[in-house]
Each structure stands twice: as structure tokens, then as C-alpha cells.
């Protein structure tokens, strides 16, 4: 099968393996020609507590006309961290245009975790993120983000299978396409749940959690997931592959002294 050209629209950290810095080596290793458009330049992973960040929206507005003039096309686009409402509108319009030209759109609506929004994310940002997920062939929010996108109450103790399926159905209604919800407690088990719009089937994949924190594991999940989907694998199989890859990488690095840097991916690409 011929490999697909994919554009990553996400932030770029100078120090640490998160976002574009985590996804690009994985997708490249999997054989997909991978390009990137940074939504922000970040000095280091936010886990260090201090950081500097530069909004690149003005740069982006200059990039799109050049790419259009040069005739650049992408088979797929994956969006991640969006730094402002203005940027979200520009990026969602580009994704809509590319979707009409046949590109597959993957959206990770990064807004919050553990029941709370990240600093700087406003109700207006949530509204604009609705535009992003509306053009998604596959969206994959975490449980917190799924609740905010659907105006559903967040239950830290977890939810039932029926409630998880209802949440998936509500998200599916916003795009008409496939949905995953990551890191969601269902019937007292850590799970990833999904809905495949092509088959009309819901699924639930439990996993064991290793009690250490690395930034960037969600980006690793996204990259492996997308890589397998672009290779023609099913949504359920691709999701399982991504979950297993994240588990293996965390297990191999759980004793690292500085976890704030993320996982040093280049040393472990062969386990993907």
C-alpha cells in the first residue's frame, strides 16, 4: 500500500517530546511523508512550570496562500493544540477546504483534563472547537473534553457503558463520522471507547494504567493510531495498537529521572 502524506497542525516544543516533536518521528518511522505547521512555539513542556510560548497565527495566515499557489496537497491532516479563537477559525476553514479535496481530517480537541479546562481555554474557545470537530473524519477527545463539547456532566468516579455510548453518540452527531474517547473510566475500568461510523458499531477497549506521568503520551497515541489508520487498518485495531504502544513505551521508561521531558522516542521506535 502506498503511504499517505500527512500534515500535522500542532504546537512545537523546543525541549521535550510532545505534540509535533512526538508525532513527527513516529509517523515518519511508519513510512508516511510527514509535514508540519506549528500553531505555537513553546520553549519546553509545560510540566516544568515555567515556559515561553509564541502564537504563530500570523505565520500561518502567510503559509496557506503560498502552499495553495504551489499546489501542495495532503492525504490527511491531524490537528492538535490550537492557541486562540482566531487561529481555530483559520485552521478549521483550511481543514474544511482540504476535506472537500479528499483529505482525511483527524482532530484532537485539546482543551483540558481531569474535569478542568487548561489555563487560557475559554467558553468561546470551546465554541470554536465545535467548528474543528464538525469537519473531523475522526475526533478523539479525552473524557473531560468530550464532556465540555457535549455539555455533559463530568463524573470523576466514572460512568456506565450506556452513558459512554450516549456520549459517543452525542459527539458523532456533531460530525457524522467516527469518534474515540480516550482515558475514560467505564464500569470502574480505564478504557478507550469508540464509535465507527462506517460499521455503526460501538466498542470499548480496557487497559491497565501504569501510575507514572509523562507529557506527550496522548500525542504518541494519536500518531500510532493515525499511522495504522492510514495503512488501512480498522479503527478498533488501530486504537488497540496505539494503546499497546503507549503502554510499552511508558513501561520501558517508567524509571526515567526526568519525566517532564516526555519519552525519548527515537530510542524506542522499533517497539512500535
- Residue 216 pLDDT more than 90? yes
Q: What is the pLDDT of residues 238-268, one digit of tens each?
A: 999 999 999 999 999 999 999 999 999 999 9
Residues whose CB falls within 8 Å of the CB of residue 57, separated by 6 or more in sequence, listed in order: 39, 83, 84, 86, 87, 90
Q: What is the pTM of this model?
A: 0.96
pLDDT tens per residue, range 146-160: 999 999 999 999 999
**Could you tell me the CA-to-CA distances from 137 to 19, 41, 105, 229 in Å, in that order?**
20, 27, 5, 11
Q: How far is CA 64 from the centre of its chain?
A: 22
Element (H, E) at 224: helix 217-230
User: How many of the other CB atoms lie within 10 Å of CB of 67?
Assistant: 15
Mean pLDDT to the nearest integer, 194-213: 97
Pull the grid cell for residue 116.
Answer: 478542568
Cell of 64: 496557506
Indicate the pLDDT class of residue 1, thresholds 50, 70 and 90: low
What confidence tens digit (pLDDT) does each residue in 164-178 have? Answer: 999 999 999 999 999
pLDDT digits (tens, 9 = 90+) for 72-129: 999 999 999 998 889 989 999 999 999 999 999 999 999 999 999 987 778 888 888 8
Amino acid at each position: 500500500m502506498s503511504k499517505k502524506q500527512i500534515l500535522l497542525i500542532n504546537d512545537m516544543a523546543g525541549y521535550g517530546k510532545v505534540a509535533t516533536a512526538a508525532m513527527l518521528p513516529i509517523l515518519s518511522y511508519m513510512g508516511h511523508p510527514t509535514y508540519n505547521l506549528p500553531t505555537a512555539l513553546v520553549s519546553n513542556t509545560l510540566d516544568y512550570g515555567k515556559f515561553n510560548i509564541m502564537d504563530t497565527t500570523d505565520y500561518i495566515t502567510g503559509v496557506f496562500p503560498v502552499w495553495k499557489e504551489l499546489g501542495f496537497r495532503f492525504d490527511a491532516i491531524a490537528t492538535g493544540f490550537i492557541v486562540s479563537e482566531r487561529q481555530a477559525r483559520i485552521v478549521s476553514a483550511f481543514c474544511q477546504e482540504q476535506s472537500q479535496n479528499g483529505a482525511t481530517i483527524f482532530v484532537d480537541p485539546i482543551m483540558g483534563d481531569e474535569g478542568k479546562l487548561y489555563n487560557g481555554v475559554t467558553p468561546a474557545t470551546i465554541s470554536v472547537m465545535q467548528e474543528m470537530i464538525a469537519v473531523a473524519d475522526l475526533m478523539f477527545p479525552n473524557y473531560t473534553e468530550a464532556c465540555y463539547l457535549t455539555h455533559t456532566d463530568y463524573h470523576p468516579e466514572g460512568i456506565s457503558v450506556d452513558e459512554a455510548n450516549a456520549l459517543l453518540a452525542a459527539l458523532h452527531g456533531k460530525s457524522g463520522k467516527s469518534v474515540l474517547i480516550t482515558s475514560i473510566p467505564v464500569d470502574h475500568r480505564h478504557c478507550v471507547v469508540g464509535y465507527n461510523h462506517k460499521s455503526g458499531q460501538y466498542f470499548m477497549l480496557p487497559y491497565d494504567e501504569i501510575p507514572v506521568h509523562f507529557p506527550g503520551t496522548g500525542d504518541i497515541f494519536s500518531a500510532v493510531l493515525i499511522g495504522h489508520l492510514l495503512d488501512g487498518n480498522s479503527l478498533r485495531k488501530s486504537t488497540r495498537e496505539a494503546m499497546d504502544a503507549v503502554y510499552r513505551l511508558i513501561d520501558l521508561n517508567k524509571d526515567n529521572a526526568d519525566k517532564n521531558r516526555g519519552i525519548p522516542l527515537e530510542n524506542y521506535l522499533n517497539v512500535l
